[in-house]
Each structure stands twice: as structure tokens, then as C-alpha cells.
């Protein structure tokens, strides 16, 4: 049995929009491109045809992937959650013991993780270490650069 994929409602809508665009715009366009490339004659030396077929393969693969993710999505609205433990969707403020600085991350699904937007994946080393922890907990996390020690100073669901 397939396991569910946790994602925020924002990510779910983004995946649906991408799927809709691929099915309604990109797929028909690539079919038209293939048809036009066929009209140019010999397919064995037709770079336009090869490029269009490759693009079609990518689009069909992505459509299949998106359909699977949407079907298995466990949509979580962070603003509807409450509690004093770090859960999926939480925005967590951490105090870095070594650098004596604060950093804030939102725990999100793999597809929406973006460190530049302070969104980390629930499956990342930091995300996994934070899940289930409480405010004032000290968390030791092994990251590629070594071990980091954080103290959780705030947990919000927005």
C-alpha cells in the first residue's frame, strides 16, 4: 500500500495548478510540435522531432508523478493546528547554541522545501530531529557540517 505524502494546502494547490497546465497547455502544444516536425520529412535526422518527443516523455512522466502525489496527498493546513509540540506545518524558532543566533524554519513536505524561504523538509535531518519536540527542548542534530545544537524557543502554527 502506498504511503501518504504530507503537504500543506498551499503545496497541494500548486501541484494541482501545475498538473492542469501540463494537461491543458503543454501536452497539446508538444503534440502539435511533433506533428509539425513530422511534416518536415525524414524523422531519422530531424532534431526538432527528437526534441519534441523528449519533451513529450518528460511531460507525460511529470503528469504521472503529479497524479500520484495528488492521489496520495495528506493535506495539512498549519493554521488549523495547535499544540505545544513540533508537528508537520509548524513554524519553529531555534536558538543556535554555537553561534548564539536565532533561526526560524517551517516544517513542510519534500516538494515545498526551500531553504531560501526558511522551509525545511520534514524528512531532512533537522526536520526529523524537531518533530515531536517541545519548547525549551535541546536538540542535537548531525548535519553535513558536523553536529548542531539548538534550543527550541518558539513553536507556531500559522
* Chain segment 7-58, per-residue pLDDT in tens: 999 999 999 999 999 999 999 999 999 988 888 776 667 788 889 999 999 9
On whether both 13 and 71 belong to a single domain, the answer is: yes
On whether both 67 and 93 belong to a single domain, the answer is: no
DSSP string, 38-52: HTTS-GGG-HHHHHH
CA pair distance 136, 114, nearest whole angstrom: 26
Pairing state between β 119-121 and 101-108: parallel
In this prediction, residue 7 carries a pLDDT of 94
CA pair distance 133, 86, nearest whole angstrom: 5
In this prediction, residue 82 carries a pLDDT of 85
Distances (CA, A) of 121 to 7, 25, 107: 10, 30, 6
Strand partners, 134: 85
- Cell 524558532, residue located: 93
92 contacts: CB under 8 Å, gap ≥ 6:
86, 104, 105, 106, 107, 130, 152, 154, 155, 156
In this prediction, residue 1 carries a pLDDT of 45
pLDDT digit string, tens, across residues 72-120: 999 999 888 888 899 999 999 999 999 999 999 999 999 899 999 999 9
In this prediction, residue 19 carries a pLDDT of 98
On whether both 13 and 72 belong to a single domain, the answer is: yes
Q: Look at the chain and report how many structural domains it folds into.
A: 2
Residue 133 has pLDDT above 90, yes or no: yes
Instruction: Show the domain range for 112.
Output: 78-156
On whether both 47 and 109 belong to a single domain, the answer is: no
Residue that terminates a domain, selected from 61, 76, 91: 76
- Cell 501518504, residue located: 4
pLDDT (mean) for 121-133 = 94
Report yes or no: 157 and 77 within 8 Å, Cβ to Cβ: no
On whether both 59 and 89 belong to a single domain, the answer is: no
On whether both 40 and 59 belong to a single domain, the answer is: yes
Amino acid at each position: 500500500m502506498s504511503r501518504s505524502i504530507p503537504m500543506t494546502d498551499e503545496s497541494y494547490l500548486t501541484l494541482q495548478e501545475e498538473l492542469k497546465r501540463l494537461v491543458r497547455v503543454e501536452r497539446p502544444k508538444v503534440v502539435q510540435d511533433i506533428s509539425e516536425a513530422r511534416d518536415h520529412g525524414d524523422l531519422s535526422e530531424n532534431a526538432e522531432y527528437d526534441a519534441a518527443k523528449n519533451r513529450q516523455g518528460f511531460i507525460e512522466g511529470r503528469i504521472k508523478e503529479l497524479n500520484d502525489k495528488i492521489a496520495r496527498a495528506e493535506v495539512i493546513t498549519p493554521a488549523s493546528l495547535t499544540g505545544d509540540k513540533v508537528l508537520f506545518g509548524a513554524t519553529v524558532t531555534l536558538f543556535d547554541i554555537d553561534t548564539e543566533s536565532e533561526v526560524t524554519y517551517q516544517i513542510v513536505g519534500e516538494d515545498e522545501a526551500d531553504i531560501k524561504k526558511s522551509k525545511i523538509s520534514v524528512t531532512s535531518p533537522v526536520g526529523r530531529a524537531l518533530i515531536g519536540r517541545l519548547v525549551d527542548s535541546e536538540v542535537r542534530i548531525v548535519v553535513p557540517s558536523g553536529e548542531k545544537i539548538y534550543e527550541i524557543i518558539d513553536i507556531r502554527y500559522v
